[in-house]
Structure formats: structure tokens, C-alpha cells
Amino acid sequence: MAHPDLSPDADARFGFRDLLGLRGGMAWLFLVILELTIVLYMLGNLATAPAAAALTATAMLATAGALVLAVPVDPLPLPVTAFVAACAPVASALTMSNTGTHHMLWTTFASSYVLAVLVLRGRMGWAWLGVAGVAAVIVMWGARIGQSAGTIVAPIVPVGTVVAISAFAVIMRPTQQSLRRLREEATIRAAAEATMAAAEGERVRQLGRLDRVARPILERIAEGADLTVAEREECRLLEAELRDGLRAPQLVTEELSGAARGARARGVEVVLLDDGGFAGAPPWVRRRVIDAATRELDAANTGSVTVRVLPVGRRVLATVLAHSPEHDRRTEIDTQGAVTVLD
């Protein structure tokens, strides 16, 4: 059984488990203590109730105790909640005997702890339905065997645990809400800071790249030197390369940029476009797109090559269109990395 605190699907809301620190190792410890407590209390029924009934009741409450902590959603889903709430009165009924009601303290103690945790999981109303069910079972059985009112009430006393936890939940609800708001604000602030840091990192990267590739020729221009034909061609290729960095930053690698520069030098028109489809794509799929585009650029001597990364949500992740007087070729790479070439 997967523990809620180790599950990736754990509810993001700030519940009492968070408030009490019942996450990670502490949650495991709490679960072990709860299960041991339930079993130790329920073993006391073996002396008065049939062994099969006592063991069945023990198994039910132990299962309820595990579920009330293990399901990773707050509040608990209704089917699980109904099962946990029903286990308490059913276990009480199973451990009844004609020897009196004092022995019911064992089952009531165990049930009260399970129902108290149910309150912490956001199901206070259902927990009190479980308490009412336990009380009804004890009252009916006590009346049936002719017990006095005081004797009947005694086994119900341990449900005071549920009273205390319910009062705690009501008192702490404003604090819980305040802490939840603080955590939401901290999450929003952290996301904004991460976005700013990413933007600053990209700006620094682009400036570094511009300084590396453009500084030499810019210094020549600033000196007022007459540019040679080769230098003018270098400016044209450099301008196209810088434009690639703005239009398709996720496609710009040393390998692909070199292939694009070589193709442009041979007179091929090269267009790189990035509409954001790489978001969430595995690195190896992005690598496959770059490899396919590089191969097409290296093979092109005339015409045009257009490499486009499509928007998120499309079946096809990227396309490479090669046009020349001799033939047209379209290469598609889907989100699973499959490459399809259409001549």
C-alpha cells in the first residue's frame, strides 16, 4: 500500500496532516503506532468474544486505521470514509458477549482512535456517525441483556477522544486556513522568482552568445574599416544566425547552427521556427529533431529548408521541409520520437 506522503498524487491542500507534521517519516511512525494500539486493545476481546469474531473485528479496525492514513486525498473519498465509519459499530457488534458490557472498553478505545483520525482527515460528520453507531450498538446490546444505565454508558466513555479531537479541529481551523493562504502566497512568490531567474539566465546567455559571435565583426565596423566581400557575407550569415536564436532558441545548438550556416553559405534559404512544442518533451526526442534537421541541412545545396517545432498538444512535434528543384521532402517527428519521411 502506497503511503500518502510518498505518493506523487498527494493532495496539495494544507490539511491537519501538514499542520501536525504527519508527513514522511513521522507519518510512517504514526501509522505503526496506531496499528499497534488497535491490535493490542483488540486482543483483549479474545477472552470474552469468539476468536473468529474478535479476529475479524481486529482486522477490520486495523484496515480502517491503515486506510484513514494511507489514502492520499483530503478530505477522504466518500467510499473510504463510509467504510472507516462503519467499521467501528460493526467491530463493536462482533465483540459483544453476554458476559456484560465492561469488556467493550477494548473495542471502543480502538474505534475511538480510528474515528479521531477520521476527524483529522476532514470527515468530522462521518466520524460522529461512527460514534453514534457504536453508542447504538452498546445501548441495544446492554438493554437486551438487562444491564443498568451506568454499566451501559461506561463503554461509551472512550469516544471522548473524538470529542477532544473535534474540538481541536474546530479551534485550529482558522489557523489552518491562515497557514494555507501563507503557503499559497509563498508558492506564487517562488514561481514568480523562478520565472524572473529563468528570464535573467536566458538574457545573460543571449548576451554572452551575442558577445561571442558578433563582437569581432562589430569592432571592425566600429573602427570604420571597409568590409571585404567575405566579411559582408559573414555579416549576412551572422545576422541569420542571431535571428535563429530569437525565433527558435530551443533549436540553437552548435551542431544545428553550424549546419544552418553551411547551408546558407551554399545559397540555401534556411528558416528555423519554434512554437513551443519542446515544453515537456524528453531530451532524447529533442535530440532526434535536431539530428533530423541537421541531416537535411547538410544535404541541401539549393532551394530552402524550413525547420519548425509545432505548438504543444499536436501529435507531430516538429517538421523539416526541404524544397529544391529536383524534389520536395517532408520529415515529421512525433511526440514519441518516431521519424516519418514523406517524399
pLDDT mean across residues, the chain: 80
Dist CA 69 CA 114 (whole Å): 9
pLDDT of amino acid 161: 81
pLDDT of amino acid 244: 82
- State the SS3 of 21-81: CCCCHHHHHHHHHHHHHHHHHHHHHHHCCCHHHHHHHHHHHHHHHHHHHHCCCCCCCHHHH
The alpha carbons of the chain give a radius of gyration, in whole angstroms, of: 35
Most confident of 144-158, 187-201, 235-249, 323-337: 323-337
What is the residue type of 296?
A: E
Q: Which residue carries 558578433 as its cell?
A: 214
Q: Which long-range contacts (CB under 8 A, 24 or more apart) does 9-16 make?
A: 9/72, 10/72, 11/72, 11/73, 11/74, 13/74, 13/180, 14/176, 14/179, 14/180, 14/183, 15/74, 15/75, 15/120, 15/121, 15/122, 15/176, 16/120, 16/121, 16/122, 16/169, 16/172, 16/176
Pair 89, 77: CB distance under 8 Å: no
74-96 average pLDDT score: 88
pLDDT of amino acid 11: 36
pTM of the predicted protein model: 0.49
User: What digits encode the pLDDT tens for the residues 168-220?
Assistant: 778 777 766 776 777 778 888 888 888 888 778 867 876 776 677 677 777 77
Helix residue ranges per DSSP H, the chain: 16-19, 25-43, 51-70, 78-94, 105-120, 124-144, 149-153, 160-222, 229-247, 254-265, 283-299
Most confident of 158-167, 206-215, 234-243, 277-286: 277-286
User: What confidence tier does 7 reach under pLDDT thresholds 50, 70, 90?
Assistant: very low
Considering only residues 7 and 70, tell me which one the structure prediction assigns the higher pLDDT. Answer: 70
Considering only residues 300 and 205, tell me which one the structure prediction assigns the higher pLDDT. Answer: 300
Q: Does pLDDT of 270 surpass 60? A: yes
User: What digits encode the pLDDT tens for the residues 30-55?
Assistant: 888 889 999 998 888 887 778 888 89
Give the H/E segment covering residue 271: strand 269-274
Considering only residues 151 and 168, tell me which one the structure prediction assigns the higher pLDDT. Answer: 168
Pair 57, 45: CB distance under 8 Å: yes
User: What digits encode the pLDDT tens for the residues 224-265?
Assistant: 777 777 777 777 787 888 788 778 888 888 889 889 989 998
pLDDT of amino acid 5: 41
Q: Which residue carries 493532495 as its cell?
A: 11
pLDDT of amino acid 219: 75
pLDDT of amino acid 297: 92
With CA atoms as reference, report the closest residue to 87 among 133, 121, 43, 51.
133
C-alpha cell recorded at residue 31: 501509522
User: What confidence tier does 309 reach under pLDDT thresholds 50, 70, 90?
Assistant: very high
Which 3 state secondary structure label does DSSP give 328?
strand
